[in-house]
Amino acid sequence: MNSRSLVDCIGNTPLIRLNKISDATGCEILGKAEFMNPGGSVKDRAALGMVRDAERNNALQPGGIIVEGTAGNTGIGLAVVGNALGYSTVVVMPNNQSIEKIMTLKAYGVDVKLVPPVPFKDPNHFVHQSERLAKKLNANSKNGAFWANQFDNIANAKFHQDTTGPEIWEQTKGLVSGFVCSAGTGGTLGGVARALKGFSSNITIAVADPTGSALYDYYTNGTLNLEGSSITEGIGNSRITTNLQGAPIDMAFQIEDQESIPLVYQMIQEEGLCLGGSTGVNVAGAIRLAKELGPGNTIVTILCDSGLIYKARLFNKNFLAKHKIQLPEWLDMENLS
């Protein structure tokens, strides 16, 4: 017999060569296929890392409830892990996220509480609401509740440091010379950055940041100003989370939707990869880093999740037009009943 439990299928994702942009830049541009995790995103790793850490610390009891504030993918990851290991999941989520992510959460039996999006300093921000809900559920339920706290729980970045980073080092046989990705919690970027710099201080680490996020300004000027907005989901931040604090990041790129979203369509057409908007930002970052480092370099980025969980937006002409983005003509979504 050759079989594994579901949670053991998280991680060890393939590294896919992005052929067209590799050839165009003269670099090897490689995407870590995190969309191939069981829950369909890079956040399965954070979910498993935080759950295993909570089990070790007795913060999560058998049959307990996992509570989290999430843009969606962490909730899906926690539900996958939770359902497989015997926990139930409750999430608080801003109501401006994709309908497909909300439906996926519900399909896994997650109790989804949608709240209006407000700035982090507002006590009604989804993260603060999830913390209060976790305290309440912990006091009132038989097996207690655990607040995953993905932004500031360093079990998130630690899991990437222990798995994603070393996998990239091994899969490139130590040839990786640049790593770039966007950050939401910063777990992926912070963890991979620490791991890769530990293997070689010569590896350049960059953040690709959408407009509407303060990370570009922070890593460029040391201040946390943010301007504009983005239709990408799950990435960008107005603050430096505990997962990002002290991460060895060398440079930052600011990526507008007009640069990232066309790359989503290009990846579908040229590579056969249908991925979400955050991956468009990552690919844009990889192209910028390739130009920065020059031909001959090996650059790795993250293929975060599937484009199919954003169908109603990424393939919707009217939605896109409002954000000054054009759907390519070959991508004809008209006349569907």
Q: What's the CA gap between 89 and 98, in Å, rounded?
A: 19
Report, as residue numbers or ranges, the catalytic residues: 43
> Which residue, 29 or 304, is less far from ligand PMP as judged by CB?
304
Q: Counting contacts by CB under 6 A, is residue 105 touching ligand PMP?
A: no
- Take residue 52 and report the two structure tokens written for it: 């295993």
125 near ligand PMP (CB under 6 A)? no
Rg (CA), the chain: 19
Query: How many residues interact with ligand PMP (rule CB under 6 A)?
Result: 20
| Inter-residue contact 55 to 77 (CB < 8 Å) | no
Query: Which residue carries 């509570």 as its tokens?
Result: 67
Binding range to ligand PMP, per CB under 6 A, among 37-45, 59-67, 172-180, 250-258: 37-45
With CB under 6 A as the contact rule, the residue among 138, 149, 185, 204 that binds ligand PMP is 185
Query: Which residue lies nearest ligand PMP, judged by its C-beta?
Result: 234
Half-sphere exposure at residue 6, Cβ-oriented, CA atoms within 13 angstroms: 15
- Determine if 183 is a binding residue for ligand PMP (CB under 6 A): yes
- To which H or E segment does residue 251 belong? strand 251-255
Residue span binding ligand PMP (CB under 6 A) among the ranges 121-129, 184-192, 251-259, 322-330: 184-192
> In which order are the strands placed within the sheet that holds 65-69?
111-115, 88-94, 65-69, 145-147
Task: Considering only the stretches 23-31, 109-117, 165-173, 180-188, report the one whose residues sit in contact with ligand PMP under the rule CB under 6 A.
Answer: 180-188
Q: To the nearest whole angstrom, how small is the minimum distance from the Cβ of residue 165 to ligand PMP? A: 12
Binding mask 266-305 for ligand PMP (x = CB under 6 A): ----------x-x-------------------------xx
CB burial readout 248-274, b (16+ within 10 A) else e: ebbbbbbbbbebbbbbbbbbbeebebb
Residues that bind ligand PMP (CB under 6 A): 41-43, 71, 73, 182-189, 233-235, 276, 278, 304-305
